[in-house]
Amino acid sequence: MARPTEAIIDRQALRDNLAIAQSLATQGKSMPMVKANAYGHGAIEVSKALADVAPAFGVACIEEALALRDAGIKQPILLLEGTFSSNEVSIAAANNFWLMVENDKQKDALLGSSLKQPINIWLGVDTGMHRLGYNSNTITKQYRDLSGSSNVADNIVLASHLACADDIGSQSTRKQIDRFQQCLSTLNNSSSHNIDWSLANSAAVMAWPESHGSWQRPGYMIYGNSPFSEPQQQAAKLTPAMTFQSAVISIREIDSGESVGYTANWTAKRRSTIATITVGYGDGYPRQAPSGTPVLINGHRCPLVGRVSMDMITIDVTDLPSVSIGDQAILWGPSLSVTEIATLCNTIGYELMTQLSQRVPRRYIN
């Protein structure tokens, strides 16, 4: 590798973070979310790293699921958004993909298919996020329609999603949990067995034990990052799995009054040493990162200055005792939280990691 920009992914951190999720909800199972290329970490390698301990995986769509199957992943894979066309149903059945069913088009495609084996179904109910899921008033009918079909395996899972679980004091989360439990109780009363259920995302796994069900769906926490805006006891135990790093490729001295980068929006107030790092928005480093955003150069926090360009950023290293071409630059990782960088960019760490481009090699360790 010539260009030094890369993302180092720690497999042991992934395993440790999943173990934390499992330890917090011991009555159920934890299904790692590996959608969106495992939040930028590489879905195939992440799934392989967790294959010995994960009972199933969650993805957004059938294309993501097929890529995992082609790579040799054997576990069941849940399609969180279900199907988009009727021909996907037979593909899902043949590949042991589980389907979320949350609208009549999906339900009708499933019930109208000719299948050799039934499919495991997750029945989505809208408890207040108003994004996906059936109205809770119709859920008994939907469950009856599905459970009466030979295309549907016996153990339907009732599922919903929490909108504000990352707000520890959220009253809307409590309302959503109550609505879900009322819906679950209604189904249990009309069924011959207790129905499996899933409600908890990463934030709920860590902060809302009453949301823990048969299945948890940890995502962000698997990758070692906290969804909370304030310190949280369980989140503090996580280890970031990604280190996004590059290196110094050029160094120069500039006089007071000289500007750096496109639009000349930063001007030196003293004679300054500027280091150029080979990373930019073409790699997924956020273009909106303001001057002052920290970068670790040889372990020291140094401020970004000037505009982020496609392939490079410039860093003020005037206060470093020494700096050389080739010195390491950490953009985010265990020693510099992606959340800190995201906050300065008015976004969230989820976006920064998932937008890491394919130009950035992923290197896997441990």
- Give me the phi and psi of 301, to 5 degrees please: -75, 125
Cβ neighbour number for residue 130 with a 10 Å cutoff: 8
Q: What are the chain's domains?
A: 11-227 (3.20.20.10), 242-365 (2.40.37.10)
Placement of tokens 């993909």 in the chain: 97
For residue 133, give every residue at least 6 positions away whose Cβ sits within 8 Å of its Cβ, in sequence order, or none: 102, 124, 125, 126, 127, 159, 160, 161
Placement of tokens 């990052």 in the chain: 225
Q: Which residue has the higher pLDDT, 241 or 188?
A: 241
From CA 10, how far away is CA 46, in angstroms rounded?
Answer: 9
Q: pLDDT at residue 192 above 90?
A: no
For 89-114, what is each residue's pLDDT tens digit?
Answer: 999 999 999 999 999 999 999 999 99
Instruction: Compute CA 290 distance to the chain's CA centroid, rounded to the nearest angstrom.
Output: 24
Nearest to 65 by CA among 51, 79, 49: 79
pLDDT band at 1 (very low <50, low <70, confident <90, very high): low
Positions marked active-site: 35, 262
Mean per-residue pLDDT for 313-341? Answer: 97
For 43-62, what is each residue's pLDDT tens digit?
Answer: 999 999 999 999 999 999 99
pLDDT band at 178 (very low <50, low <70, confident <90, very high): very high
Q: pLDDT at residue 337 above 80?
A: yes
